[in-house]
Structure 1
């Protein structure tokens, strides 16, 4: 288990400016936990503190019940990828992994195994400086898995991967969790997290915003919304009118009803002989739910520009 307890990190002397602010959460074995937040939310700083690379101003973190720095053979306990390019460019992929293996007495056969697992056996003897971003990510993941660790921490592992690589990562993370390992992964790709993660830890401006399952987070974000398609939209909207009910429309014949469930809407329409062609409870996407939750935590927000305004600004 990964446990963060009141993790706090302050840079500089500016009052009230924290990269991470009293952050507490747990990551349990057997699940893929998505670690999400806007740019500048403190995700990378938190991961660095989990791994002892940054010292917290206050609070602490343990992995497997102890601080990462106290593990006698950390590669066999925790596999991590924070920066895929942290490799000597003149070394081959295999020699890079061999140098790591030698620090822990890991046999060369394990090096060959993770090279094959990451799909880079054919380039194992090539120098890393010639690797693409995606190949570098695969090498970083191979390094994280080198010690067959019980805990895996990956920061943006799909960055630079092609569709086949993204599918590979998705299946790999799920299989690691299925084996009972603890998996913490950060990503900006909400669509991928929706397919991969079981649990979510979401932060904004260094503070915890949500610690919940993916299903519960999405369900709560879309709770109470029902799409109704009817040629009697105006009549039905009037009948549903109540202080706790909100009815909006984006197109003729379509209503979006919040505050009334599908059964109530159907009974109301039937009681007044109003035809209904579609009655669909709505679930928000993970992306929309995430955007709604973190809207006030975004540090760098760009305006939506039209093609004409972009052209004008460049002229």
Structure 2
């Protein structure tokens, strides 16, 4: 379990993390989301004791990271996959970590097999592609068979097979009762694998929720309807909590607040023919963009926008 209490980090006049409070519980995959500059990496560094909080605290399984006698058995982390000596082989890199932390040699072979590194285990890490470097970093994180696994952008550089592999791995680790904390910019992956979400922006907590709850807060599912009599359908569906959007002269309406089944039933009761009745799901990406719109630090512009300015 990871617990942050009023966790704050300032660099001069810049506040990178601002009073964060959250709990990452075992037995679930918790996604850690936020725009660039939101404070995610700084938070993860403070969890591992690499940066000291300005105020507040963060503990892993009830202790500060520095107070654990066997830290690799408590927390396995991937923050920077390329932080490996380029002249050392993958096997020797893992073996060195194992020998300095009292981990049996057989565990090195186990994580090499688990991460699919068998064919490159004796090659120098400096020759690895981005994806193979990620696999080596994940192998290092799992070396101590830790109770808590914390990964920063673990699918970065992985091919589709690798993305599926890491998705299944995270789910399995959580099912074993471990605490799994994952930072990612890939909303599609978080929608598939995360049980809970912690969303931050400009160092502040924006949401501590589930994927479904966040999507519902963003408006939930909408229903697209096409009919020759949109005005009559509007009247038939009007009611508390129902929102109907459509353009003048168009046969199409977008409706929120009623499920497709209810819309179809009411249309039939009023003798209104429907040409289309489609549920349009709000994506996690759209919900995330809506939530963090005011907390994006780095904005890009297109050439056309620059010329217009």
TM bucket normalised to smaller: over 0.9
- Corresponding residue to 1:67 among 57, 64, 68: 64
Aligned to 1:237: 234
TM-score by length of 2: 0.92
Aligned to 2:273: 275
Deviation at 1:242, TM superposition (A): 6.5
Aligned to 2:186: 189
Tell me the alpha carbon deviations over residues 87-145 of structure 1, each in whole angstroms, 9 at most, x when there is no partner: 11111111111111011111111101101111111111111111111111000000000
- Corresponding residue to 2:54 among 48, 52, 57: 57
3-state SS of paired residue (1:269): helix
Deviation at 1:259, TM superposition (A): 4.3
Aligned equivalents of 2:4, 2:299: Cα separation in 1: 29
Aligned to 1:114: 111
Tell me the alpha carbon deviations over residues 59-96 of structure 1, each in whole angstroms, 9 at most, x when there is no partner: 10011111111000100111000000111111111111
Aligned equivalents of 2:267, 2:76: Cα separation in 1: 57
Aligned to 1:3: 3
Aligned equivalents of 1:207, 1:174: Cα separation in 2: 27
3-state SS of paired residue (1:176): helix
Aligned to 1:87: 84
Aligned to 2:214: 217
Deviation at 1:254, TM superposition (A): 1.9
RMSD value over aligned CA atoms?
A: 2.2
Aligned to 1:98: 95
Structure 1 170/264 Cα, relative in aligned 2: closer, same or farther at 3 Å? closer
Aligned equivalents of 1:123, 1:261: Cα separation in 2: 52
1:299 aligned to 2:276? no
Aligned residues: 307
Tell me the alpha carbon deviations over residues 195-240 of structure 1, each in whole angstroms, 9 at most, x when there is no partner: 1111100001111111011122223323373322322224323554
3-state SS of paired residue (2:246): strand
The answer as to whether partners of 1:158 and 1:169 remain within 8 angstroms in 2 is: yes
Aligned equivalents of 1:118, 1:263: Cα separation in 2: 46
Summarize the alignment of residues 238-257 of structure 1 with structure 2, pairs less than 5 Å apart. 238-240=235-237, 245-249=242-246, 252-257=250-255
- Which segment is superposed worse, 271-280 or 143-152? 271-280
Structure 1 260/120 Cα, relative in aligned 2: closer, same or farther at 3 Å? closer
3-state SS of paired residue (2:162): helix
The answer as to whether partners of 2:236 and 2:270 remain within 8 angstroms in 1 is: no
Aligned equivalents of 1:304, 1:256: Cα separation in 2: 30
3-state SS of paired residue (1:247): strand
- Corresponding residue to 2:123 among 115, 121, 126: 126
Tell me the alpha carbon deviations over residues 255-310 of structure 1, each in whole angstroms, 9 at most, x when there is no partner: 1123455566445433432112444454311111111111111111223556xx89
TM-score by length of 1: 0.90
- Which segment is superposed worse, 184-193 or 263-272? 263-272
The answer as to whether partners of 2:187 and 2:285 remain within 8 angstroms in 1 is: yes
